[in-house]
Structure 1
Amino acid sequence: MPLHAVRPKILGFISEQASAWLVALVVFLVGMGLTFIVAWAASDLYQQQARQRFQLLVNERYSRLQERFDDQEQRLGGLQRFFDNSHKISRKEFDGFAQPLLLRTWAYVWAPRVFRDQRKAFEQQVSRERGLPFAIHELDETGKLVPAAERDEYVPVLYSQTQNILGSPLGFDLWAQPLRRSTLERVQKSVKLAVSQPMQLVGVEPAYAMGVLLVAPVSRAATAQGPQKEPYGYVIAVISMRQLVADGLPKPGRDNLVMQIVDTSDTQQRVLYESGNTLAQSSLEATRRLTLGDHVYALKLRPSRVFEQVNHSSAVSILSMGSLLSLLLSALLYVVMSQRQRALKLVEQRTGQLRQREQELRAAHGQLRSVLNAATQVAIIATDLRGVINTFNAGAEQMLGFEVEQMQGHVPLENLHLAPELEARAAQLSRTFGKHIAPSHAMLVESGDNAHEAREWTLVRKDGSRLTANMLATALLDDHGLWVGYLAIYLDVTEQKRAYEALAARDRLLKKLSAHVPGGIFQFTLGPHDNWRFIYASDGIRDIYEIEPGLLQQDAQQVFERIHPQDTERVRASIRLSALQLSHWREEYRVQLPQRGLRWIRGEATPEELPGGGTLWHGYVSDISDLKRVEEELRALSITDSLTGIHNRRYFQDRLRTEMIRVKRASGGLAVIMFDIDHFKRINDLYGHGVGDGVLQELCRRISQRLRRSDVFCRLGGEEFMVLCPNTDGAQAFSLALELWQGLRSTPMDGVGTVTASFGVASWRGDEGIDGLLLRADSGVYAAKQAGRDRVEGERLPGTS
């Protein structure tokens, strides 16, 4: 039957005689249709997702802003209760309470109500308390502060805590401004929080000037003698709307939302705040209600250009990629069909040539058979393309026990192999090439990674016994380079494999034993000519030095390159001494590792002398970094004061003994400075022990900054401290004590004010011991306290007072 009588179909349904151009066009049109459908679905999904993301952003922004509005009410309510529950509040108390509340609030103000007949006495009283003239003022037509005109009631600013560096105009009458006055009247009637109409805040940057006043009444609490009275004053939060809203939100260039806040109770519907980012071209919009005091504000939110850029539709990308894919697929199909049609024509031509060559090969087969039979130590087997044996030499008969007549033309090569090995090899090759490889061809296919190299297989003899052979398989080609079969050459390696497995078993046992030893085990030699070499190194060496054991056997110098430069010579010297005396080697040293950095290593080894000269050590090395770190931490804890972080009494006593020995042996100066915090018990009683601990820590920080590097600063206990000054005489120590004293008292500490201390100075005398030196320093502290505290007493130069 001619070849064209049975024509296969491409892809199972396209005849190979169909026009390649027509098939490519149909595929392109179908691909474009599918692309448009996917793009339409993606566009609809994008719209839904954009609405959902926008609503999530709106809800999050609304919740955040309403929390900030509620927070302002709570903070002002706290200040209101502070006044309601106090009989009289001083300026310092007001500042201490109001200053921590200044979070997103421009200022807090206390303004009492003052009536006409109380004005003069009120102004005089405030002037006496402030030590400065005080009067109630108002703004004239030019915007300047002038004395307030006579009226029945005034509400002047008495206390103010603000973020403005210029402060607030004390004495400014809020009752004189109509907008502020209307807000105060509403508060007076409702006795509840009230918010002013939008206004331009005074003394605020233009960008932050638009804001409101949040006002709360201050009244005496109701008692059994009478009901609650009218407010006797007001506490006011001055709120910049931009500061309240924009603080902590994304910058305009990164914000997904365009935001606008409008006062719904304002007849002019003025905008209190509007973000400055660019509005996106979108129909999405949301409105929420924000409440502050007795006002309701409209929060309008729309998507910004940033939101539009982040949430762009993928329809255009899908159309572009789909069109390109359709075009590429149609072009590929066109090329495949064209090449297949040309290939089939070429196959018809080659078939005739192959039949001619078959006759020539049969003639040459007899000669090849004679040559192959001459190789009796190796099995040479040739097959056709199907894997059926057509050549079986005498070496194969001797190795496998089969006769040539039984094998040639009847038995496939796979029958000589162990079936599980073929199946495993076929599965591996299938994964490598991405297509199915039959087990019958697994031994003949080159995997690419080990092409043209011998591979080990298990063969089955005629009597059922097995042998291990190395097989080299190659393709047989004709004169035109066409594939006509396979050639396999087998070499029996059964005895070699048994010897290798015995050696491998011994190595595995040694490796398993060394794996359970902490650290690394090694054999190390030092030759007569100072040659350093590792004969053996276990896997544990890799963790110790971060060097592969195989590399150490090639070059032992890599270990010494890892050892810290300060320890290298000591380690080398200890190895040479151990070789000289044949004594046990034990050393602790540091190594610098590329990944784990500085580590501590302990090594031990037993030497023996080699017959040809040199020394061999059997030993191990282990990582003791954790042990060293624990020792260092315990030492640090034993000499450090846990509260202040400076040295403790124990360290001071050890260091003082060392310095005393030094000055007695080599002369030189030595002085101590002892000081005690004045009235420290009063600080603990007034502010609590937590504040007292903070005072101790801040004092140690200040003193440490002013000490020299050679000085030793210690806490003896409680509020008593000591500074040890090596190589320092009495005059120098007294000068240093004056500097420490001045640095401590010059700057008040937060929450407690100025903290002082009494200092005593003493320098060492050649005829006294430690107790005498400390007694004189303690006497100096006692003298300073007796003289009124907050001073330095001790040895001075002649002529100083």
Structure 2
Amino acid sequence: MTRTAYESERLALAIEGSGTGIWDRNVQTDEIYYSTDWKAMLGFKEDEVSGRMAESYTRVHPDDIAYVKRTIQDHFDRKTPYYEVEHRLRCKDGSYKWVCSRGKVVSRDSEGNPLRMVGTTTDVTSMHEISEQLHNTVQLLTSLTNEVPGLVFQYHLQPDGRGRFSYASAGIEDIYELSPLEVADSVAVLDRLIHPEDLYSYHASLRTSAACLAPWHCEYRVILPRQGLRWRQGDAKPQRLDDGSTLWHGFITDITARKNIEAELHKFATTDFLTQLANRRHFMVQVEAELARLRHDKSRPAAILMIDLDHFKAINDRWGHALGDKALRHFSAVLSNHLRETDVAGRIGGEEFAVMLRAAGFTQAESFAQRLQHHLRNSPLIEDGQHVDMTVSVGISVMNPTDATADDSIFRSDRALYQAKNSGRDRIERA
């Protein structure tokens, strides 16, 4: 066997069983030759397929015929270097197979008109079935994730710190009021939505998760154009990719309702219902925290004031308990108006109150107490056109870093308060 004959036989054997058939078209006569394998691919015997192009086109699926003819014509007109198209062909049993047809004009006349075209047709039905299954699976997963409340996402963080959402469900519209397209290339837009006070911790949590490959969990606030201030919770699992980047799969949910409930419960547990000041327990927690801070930073003292409404029992006896409650609320409002953001006031019990002035000594505390007394004298409670005069006695101490417990400074202030009351009330005494 010659080398040429051997190579031809090897080519024929390679084509046989590959699901590929050969065709050879005479463009001038509109006749076409199909190989035995081409016919067998569609279930036809050797003598069951004619060589007429008109008949050949009848086997092309009606939805594909225009596309097939247009693609062939583009190649005839030299708009494309070769002809390639995927389409459906009808089999002998009436079913359709997906095929990929490839061909090329191998000869033209002197004017460039095509004379002969040779090509192959390959059965790609199984590939299309797999592709369709994958497409259906993707569609199902997309539909499911789009129905999940919140944002289902895939987040990709490059080693240089650039991040993007490689996948974001439709829930991003509610979570961030953005579209998936807006975060597909960069998440820089999120920095403008995350609350400034939470932005650092948000990025720090991602960096920590990436460094340790630990699950990401973060609760943070966002400020959205339509929804305003909302709470978000993010949870995801990271994985390291070969290029050193990190990929998270997770979800972000709206926890605003839960946070509001937590805030209400916290307020209920830490606030005196009548005066809306801190209750005794919460006030003492704040004093204990300040004492711990003072032990590390002795340069910023804190003053403790114990305050008692003078002759409160007489107010109750004369006006009744309902007005006594009004008197407590009136004083609490006056007291609150004199507090700085860093100060804490609480109702310790009955008509007794306490104030902690951070970064304040005796001088600042006395000035505070004097302003409080002055305001009470000039803004009395009015009931049925009558003035209900109130005065307060105040005892002051300064917290020491050597105090064993927070109760020590409270005890000193309470002792000074006792002296103020015994000295005639409406007085201020230092411990």
Paired with 2:262 and 2:370, the residues of 1 have a C-alpha distance of: 39
1:676·1:720 contact (CA, 8 Å) conserved in 2?
A: yes
Match of 1:617 in 2: 248
Partner of residue 757 from structure 1, selected from 363, 369, 391: 391
- Alpha carbons 2:301, 2:399 under 8 Å: kept: no
**Equivalences for 1:30-45 in 2 at 5 Å?**
none
Hey, what does 2:429 align to over in structure 1?
794
Q: Is the 1:730–1:761 Cα contact (8 Å) retained in structure 2?
A: no
Write the letter of the residue equivalent to 2:429: G
Distance across 2 between alignment mates of 1:668 and 1:529: 41
- The residue number in structure 2 matching 1:691 is 323
In the alignment, structure 1 residue 537 sits paired with structure 2 residue 168: yes
How do 1:433-582 residues align onto structure 2 when only pairs under 5 Å count? 501-515=132-146, 517-527=148-158, 532-582=163-213
1:618/1:709 Cα in 2 relative to 1: closer, same or farther (>3 Å)?
closer
Q: Output one character per residue of 1:587-646: Cα deviation in whole Å (capped at 9) or x when no partner.
A: 333333332233333333333343455343333333333333333332233222211222
Q: CA deviation at 1:717?
A: 1.6
Task: State whether residues 395 and 420 of structure 2, in contact with CA within 8 Å, keep that contact through their aligned partners in structure 1.
Answer: no
> In structure 2, how many angstroms separate the alpha carbons of the residues matched to 1:536 and 1:781?
65
Give CA deviations for 1:367-417 in whole Å, capped at 9, x if unaligned: xxxx999599xxxxxxxxxxxxxxxxx86654447xxxxxxxxxxxxxx99
Q: Indicate if the aligned counterparts of 1:675 and 1:781 stay in contact, CA closer than 8 A.
A: yes
* Alpha carbons 1:758, 1:785 under 8 Å: kept: no
1:678 maps to which of 310, 330, 335: 310
Q: Provide, for residues 527-551 of structure 1, a one-character-per-residue CA deviation record: whole Å limited to 9, x for no partner.
A: 4665534333222333322222244
3-state SS in 1 of match to 2:184:
helix
Q: 1:678-717 deviations in whole A, cap 9, x for unaligned?
A: 3333333443332222221112222333445544322112
**CA deviation digits over 1:176-217, x for unaligned, max 9?**
xxxxxxxxxxxxxxxxxxxxxxxxxxxxxxxxxxxxxxxxxx
Matched, 1:643 2:278: no
Q: 1:719 is matched by which residue type in structure 2?
A: E
Partner in structure 2 of residue 658 of structure 1: 289
Q: Distance in 1 between matches of 2:398 and 2:280?
A: 19
Alignment CA distance shift 1:679-1:613 (3 Å):
closer
CA 639–569 in structure 1, closer or farther in 2 if over 3 Å, else same: closer
Larger radius of gyration between Structure 1 and Structure 2: 1
Q: Tell me: CA distance 1:718–1:600, structure 2 relative to 1, closer, same or farther (3 Å).
A: same
1:717 counterpart residue number: 349
1:465–1:638 Cα change, 3 Å: same
Structure 1 match to 2:101:
none
Confirm or deny that 1:633 pairs with 2:264.
Answer: yes
Identify which of structures 1 and 2 has the higher relative contact order when contacts are C-alpha pairs closer than 8 Å and 6+ apart: 2
CA contact (8 A) 1:734 1:761 kept: no
Q: Specify the alignment match of 2:6 in structure 1.
A: none
Rate the CA distance shift 1:622–1:680 in 2: closer, same or farther, 3 A.
same
The whole-number CA distance in structure 2 between the counterparts of 1:577 and 1:772 is 41
Amino acid at match of 1:722: A
Amino acid corresponding to residue 618 of structure 1 in structure 2 = H
| TM-score where L is the length of structure 1 | 0.36
Instruction: Give 2:120's aligned residue.
Output: none
CA distance in structure 1 between the aligned counterparts of 2:397 and 2:293, rounded to whole angstroms: 15
d(CA) in 2 for partners of 1:374, 1:784: 119
Cα deviations by residue, 1:78-116 (Å, 9 ceiling, x for unpaired): xxxxxxxxxxxxxxxxxxxxxxxxxxxxxxxxxxxxxxx
Match of 1:595 in 2: 226
CA contact (8 A) 1:646 1:715 kept: yes
Contact in 2 for aligned 1:677/1:755 (Cα 8 Å)? no
% same residue = 37
Instruction: Report the Cα offset of residue 580 of structure 1.
Output: 4.5
Structure 1 counterpart of 2:356, one-letter code? L
The reply on whether 1:778 has 2:414 as its aligned counterpart is yes
- Counterpart of 1:655 in 2: which secondary structure? helix
Find the aligned partners of 2:263 and 2:273 in 1 and give their Cα distance.
16
Distance 1:560 1:731, change over 3 A: closer
Q: Would the aligned equivalents of 1:737 and 1:761 in 2 still touch at CA under 8 Å? A: no
Q: Structure 2: which 5+ runs fail to align?
A: 1-26, 33-51, 64-89, 98-123
* TM-score normalised to structure 2 length: 0.62
Q: Does 1:737 align with 2:369?
A: yes
> In structure 2, what is the Cα distance between the partners aligned to 1:585 and 1:720?
47
CA contact (8 A) 2:303 2:399 kept: no
Question: RMSD between aligned alpha carbons?
Answer: 4.3
Name 1:607's counterpart in structure 2. 238
Distance (whole Å) between structure 2 residues aligned to residue 776 and residue 584 of structure 1: 49
Give the aligned partner of residue 704 of structure 1. Answer: 336
> 2:150–2:251: 8 Å Cα contact kept in structure 1?
yes
For residues 53 and 216 of structure 2, the distance between their equivalents in structure 1, rounded to whole angstroms, comes to: 60
Between the aligned partners of 1:793 and 1:507, the Cα distance in structure 2 is: 75
Q: Partners of 2:259 and 2:324 in 1: how far apart?
A: 36
Q: Gaps (5+ residues) in structure 1?
A: 1-370, 377-393, 402-415, 418-460, 469-493, 797-801
Within 2, Cα distance between the matches of 1:700 and 1:585?
A: 44
1:363-402 matches, within 5 Å, as: 397-400=55-58
Secondary structure of 1:658 counterpart: helix
Cα shift at 1:792? 0.3
**Which is richer in strand?**
2
Q: Is the 8 A contact 2:223 2:230 kept in 1?
A: yes
